[in-house]
A and B are shown apart, each in its own frame.
Chain A
Amino acid sequence: GAGVSQSPSNKVTEKGKDVELRCDPISGHTALYWYRQRLGQGLEFLIYFQGNSAPDKSGLPSDRFSAERTGESVSTLTIQRTQQEDSAVYLCASSLDTYGYTFGSGTRLTVV
Protein backbone atom coordinates (compact mmCIF):
# COMPACT_ATOMS: atom_id res chain seq x y z
CA GLY A 1 0.00 0.00 0.00
CA ALA A 2 0.89 3.66 -0.08
CA GLY A 3 1.55 3.90 3.64
CA VAL A 4 2.09 1.85 6.77
CA SER A 5 -1.22 0.47 7.95
CA GLN A 6 -1.90 -0.53 11.55
CA SER A 7 -4.90 -2.29 12.98
CA PRO A 8 -6.89 -1.96 15.04
CA SER A 9 -6.78 1.80 15.45
CA ASN A 10 -8.03 1.49 19.00
CA LYS A 11 -8.25 -1.50 21.32
CA VAL A 12 -9.77 -1.76 24.77
CA THR A 13 -9.03 -4.97 26.62
CA GLU A 14 -9.46 -6.35 30.07
CA LYS A 15 -6.47 -6.87 32.31
CA GLY A 16 -5.07 -10.34 31.88
CA LYS A 17 -6.24 -10.81 28.29
CA ASP A 18 -3.93 -11.29 25.33
CA VAL A 19 -3.91 -8.80 22.44
CA GLU A 20 -2.50 -8.85 18.93
CA LEU A 21 -1.58 -5.71 17.06
CA ARG A 22 -0.98 -5.75 13.33
CA CYS A 23 1.31 -3.75 11.08
CA ASP A 24 1.28 -3.76 7.28
CA PRO A 25 4.49 -2.11 6.06
CA ILE A 26 5.05 -0.38 2.75
CA SER A 27 5.62 -2.96 0.06
CA GLY A 28 9.33 -3.55 -0.51
CA HIS A 29 10.46 -2.04 2.78
CA THR A 30 12.91 -4.48 4.31
CA ALA A 31 13.06 -2.99 7.80
CA LEU A 32 10.19 -2.83 10.28
CA TYR A 33 10.14 -1.34 13.76
CA TRP A 34 7.75 -1.34 16.70
CA TYR A 35 7.69 1.50 19.22
CA ARG A 36 5.61 2.19 22.31
CA GLN A 37 4.49 5.69 23.24
CA ARG A 38 3.07 6.19 26.70
CA LEU A 39 0.91 9.25 27.34
CA GLY A 40 2.97 12.42 27.16
CA GLN A 41 6.18 10.53 26.49
CA GLY A 42 8.53 9.92 23.61
CA LEU A 43 8.77 6.72 21.64
CA GLU A 44 10.37 3.67 23.22
CA PHE A 45 11.96 1.17 20.87
CA LEU A 46 10.56 -2.34 21.19
CA ILE A 47 11.78 -4.52 18.33
CA TYR A 48 13.34 -4.28 14.88
CA PHE A 49 13.16 -6.66 11.90
CA GLN A 50 15.56 -6.44 8.97
CA GLY A 51 14.95 -8.85 6.11
CA ASN A 52 15.71 -12.42 7.11
CA SER A 53 18.15 -11.45 9.87
CA ALA A 54 17.45 -12.28 13.49
CA PRO A 55 15.31 -9.49 14.98
CA ASP A 56 16.68 -7.02 17.50
CA LYS A 57 14.46 -7.66 20.52
CA SER A 58 16.47 -5.57 22.93
CA GLY A 59 13.62 -3.16 23.64
CA LEU A 60 10.94 -5.66 24.61
CA PRO A 61 10.05 -4.81 28.24
CA SER A 62 9.14 -8.32 29.39
CA ASP A 63 8.57 -11.84 28.16
CA ARG A 64 4.88 -11.02 27.85
CA PHE A 65 5.78 -9.12 24.69
CA SER A 66 6.62 -10.87 21.43
CA ALA A 67 6.53 -10.04 17.75
CA GLU A 68 6.68 -11.91 14.50
CA ARG A 69 7.23 -10.96 10.91
CA THR A 70 6.94 -13.23 7.92
CA GLY A 71 9.57 -12.30 5.36
CA GLU A 72 9.16 -8.67 4.42
CA SER A 73 5.43 -8.52 4.99
CA VAL A 74 3.01 -8.17 7.86
CA SER A 75 4.14 -8.07 11.47
CA THR A 76 2.15 -8.80 14.60
CA LEU A 77 2.98 -7.62 18.10
CA THR A 78 1.48 -9.81 20.80
CA ILE A 79 1.08 -8.82 24.43
CA GLN A 80 0.11 -11.64 26.76
CA ARG A 81 -1.65 -11.22 30.09
CA THR A 82 -2.00 -7.48 29.59
CA GLN A 83 -1.40 -5.13 32.50
CA GLN A 84 -2.58 -1.56 32.99
CA GLU A 85 0.95 -0.26 32.44
CA ASP A 86 0.76 -1.68 28.91
CA SER A 87 -1.74 1.05 28.02
CA ALA A 88 -0.07 3.14 25.34
CA VAL A 89 0.01 3.89 21.63
CA TYR A 90 1.95 1.26 19.71
CA LEU A 91 3.54 2.65 16.56
CA CYS A 92 4.97 0.71 13.66
CA ALA A 93 7.39 2.05 11.06
CA SER A 94 9.02 0.61 7.98
CA SER A 95 12.00 1.71 5.93
CA LEU A 96 13.99 0.82 2.87
CA ASP A 97 17.10 2.84 3.64
CA THR A 98 18.73 5.05 6.23
CA TYR A 99 16.31 7.92 5.90
CA GLY A 100 13.02 6.62 4.72
CA TYR A 101 11.23 5.76 7.94
CA THR A 102 7.47 5.84 7.43
CA PHE A 103 5.26 5.53 10.48
CA GLY A 104 1.73 4.25 10.76
CA SER A 105 -0.94 5.99 12.81
CA GLY A 106 -0.58 3.54 15.63
CA THR A 107 -2.85 1.42 17.80
CA ARG A 108 -4.09 2.98 21.02
CA LEU A 109 -4.27 0.18 23.58
CA THR A 110 -6.25 0.70 26.75
CA VAL A 111 -6.15 -1.97 29.44
CA VAL A 112 -9.02 -1.72 31.93
Chain B
Amino acid sequence: AQTVTQSQPEMSVQEAETVTLSCTYDTSESDYYLFWYKQPPSRQMILVIRQEAYKQQNATENRFSVNFQKAAKSFSLKISDSQLGDAAMYFCAYRREGGSEKLVFGKGTKLTVNP
Protein backbone atom coordinates (compact mmCIF):
# COMPACT_ATOMS: atom_id res chain seq x y z
CA ALA B 1 0.00 0.00 0.00
CA GLN B 2 1.09 3.51 -0.69
CA THR B 3 2.17 5.63 2.26
CA VAL B 4 2.98 9.31 2.62
CA THR B 5 5.29 10.59 5.36
CA GLN B 6 5.67 14.16 6.57
CA SER B 7 8.49 14.18 9.09
CA GLN B 8 7.98 17.73 10.35
CA PRO B 9 4.93 18.00 12.64
CA GLU B 10 5.53 21.75 13.03
CA MET B 11 7.52 24.42 11.25
CA SER B 12 7.84 28.16 11.70
CA VAL B 13 9.07 30.93 9.42
CA GLN B 14 9.48 34.65 9.61
CA GLU B 15 7.25 36.74 7.40
CA ALA B 16 8.88 37.33 3.96
CA GLU B 17 11.31 34.45 4.46
CA THR B 18 11.37 31.08 2.69
CA VAL B 19 10.40 27.75 4.20
CA THR B 20 10.53 24.18 2.88
CA LEU B 21 8.15 21.44 3.99
CA SER B 22 9.25 17.84 3.49
CA CYS B 23 7.32 14.88 2.16
CA THR B 24 8.36 11.38 1.20
CA TYR B 25 6.19 8.61 -0.15
CA ASP B 26 6.36 4.94 -0.86
CA THR B 27 4.94 3.37 -3.99
CA SER B 28 5.76 0.71 -6.53
CA GLU B 29 3.84 2.56 -9.25
CA SER B 30 5.59 4.53 -11.97
CA ASP B 31 2.69 6.80 -12.88
CA TYR B 32 1.02 8.82 -10.17
CA TYR B 33 0.20 12.33 -8.98
CA LEU B 34 1.36 14.29 -5.98
CA PHE B 35 -0.37 17.18 -4.27
CA TRP B 36 0.10 19.72 -1.51
CA TYR B 37 -3.04 20.87 0.27
CA LYS B 38 -3.45 23.71 2.74
CA GLN B 39 -5.97 23.45 5.57
CA PRO B 40 -6.70 26.69 7.45
CA PRO B 41 -8.82 26.72 10.63
CA SER B 42 -11.93 26.78 8.44
CA ARG B 43 -11.15 23.07 7.83
CA GLN B 44 -11.59 23.29 4.07
CA MET B 45 -8.77 21.64 2.14
CA ILE B 46 -7.34 23.99 -0.49
CA LEU B 47 -5.17 22.70 -3.33
CA VAL B 48 -1.82 24.49 -3.34
CA ILE B 49 0.07 22.68 -6.06
CA ARG B 50 0.14 19.39 -7.95
CA GLN B 51 2.76 17.38 -9.84
CA GLU B 52 2.46 14.60 -12.38
CA ALA B 53 5.13 11.95 -11.85
CA TYR B 54 5.87 11.67 -15.57
CA LYS B 55 6.87 15.33 -15.71
CA GLN B 56 10.49 16.06 -14.86
CA GLN B 57 9.89 19.78 -14.52
CA ASN B 58 9.01 20.91 -11.01
CA ALA B 59 5.60 22.54 -10.65
CA THR B 60 5.35 26.17 -9.57
CA GLU B 61 2.38 28.32 -8.57
CA ASN B 62 3.36 31.88 -7.78
CA ARG B 63 5.20 31.77 -4.42
CA PHE B 64 4.83 27.99 -4.14
CA SER B 65 7.13 25.51 -5.82
CA VAL B 66 8.04 21.88 -5.38
CA ASN B 67 11.24 19.88 -5.53
CA PHE B 68 10.18 16.53 -6.98
CA GLN B 69 12.81 13.82 -6.78
CA LYS B 70 11.21 10.71 -8.28
CA ALA B 71 14.05 8.30 -7.61
CA ALA B 72 14.24 9.39 -4.00
CA LYS B 73 10.42 9.48 -3.72
CA SER B 74 10.61 12.94 -2.28
CA PHE B 75 8.23 15.84 -2.86
CA SER B 76 9.03 18.97 -0.84
CA LEU B 77 7.12 22.26 -0.91
CA LYS B 78 8.93 25.59 -0.90
CA ILE B 79 7.04 28.70 0.11
CA SER B 80 8.81 31.92 -0.81
CA ASP B 81 8.13 35.36 0.63
CA SER B 82 5.98 33.82 3.38
CA GLN B 83 2.86 35.73 4.34
CA LEU B 84 0.77 35.65 7.49
CA GLY B 85 -2.04 34.09 5.48
CA ASP B 86 0.15 31.08 4.71
CA ALA B 87 -0.18 29.90 8.30
CA ALA B 88 -2.10 26.61 8.22
CA MET B 89 -1.76 22.85 8.21
CA TYR B 90 -0.13 21.55 5.04
CA PHE B 91 -0.77 18.04 3.79
CA CYS B 92 1.11 16.11 1.18
CA ALA B 93 -1.01 13.64 -0.81
CA TYR B 94 -0.51 10.89 -3.36
CA ARG B 95 -2.84 9.45 -5.94
CA ARG B 96 -1.98 6.60 -8.24
CA GLU B 97 -2.83 6.56 -11.90
CA GLY B 98 -5.97 4.63 -12.77
CA GLY B 99 -8.21 2.57 -10.54
CA SER B 100 -9.65 4.16 -7.44
CA GLU B 101 -8.84 7.83 -7.44
CA LYS B 102 -8.56 8.18 -3.68
CA LEU B 103 -5.91 10.47 -2.25
CA VAL B 104 -3.52 9.11 0.36
CA PHE B 105 -2.48 11.82 2.83
CA GLY B 106 0.41 12.39 5.14
CA LYS B 107 -0.19 13.47 8.74
CA GLY B 108 0.47 17.11 8.01
CA THR B 109 2.82 19.91 9.00
CA LYS B 110 1.60 22.87 11.00
CA LEU B 111 3.15 26.05 9.61
CA THR B 112 3.38 29.15 11.77
CA VAL B 113 4.33 32.48 10.20
CA ASN B 114 5.83 34.98 12.60
CA PRO B 115 5.44 38.71 11.92
Contacts and interface: CB of A to CB of B under 8 A. Distances in A.
Nearest to B108: A42
Which of A31, A98, A104 has the largest count of B CB atoms less than 10 A from its CB? A98
A103 B103 CA distance: 12
B42 interface: yes
Interface of A: 31, 33, 35, 41-45, 48, 50, 56, 58-59, 89, 91, 93, 95, 98-99, 101, 103-106, 108
Contacts of A91: 43, 45
B42 A105 contact: yes
Q: Is the interface of A mostly helix, strand, loop or mixed?
A: strand
Contacts, number: 53
Given A48-B102, A59-B102, A98-B33, A42 B107 contact: yes
Interface residues of B, number: 21
B105 A42 contact: yes
A48 B101 CA distance: 8
Nearest to A47: B102
Contacts of A31: 101
Contact of A48 (B4, B100, B105): B100
Given A89-B43, A91-B43, A91-B45, A101 B108 contact: no
B44 A56 contact: no
Nearest to A93: B45
B47 interface: yes
Contacts of A104: 44
B113 interface: no
B75 interface: no
Given A42-B91, A42-B108, A43-B91, A101 B44 contact: no
26 contacts: A33-B102, A41-B107, A42-B4, A42-B107, A42-B108, A43-B91, A43-B103, A45-B104, A48-B100, A48-B102, A50-B101, A56-B100, A58-B100, A59-B102, A89-B43, A91-B45, A93-B45, A95-B101, A98-B33, A99-B33, A101-B47, A101-B103, A103-B46, A105-B42, A105-B44, A106-B43
B39 to A, nearest CB: 9
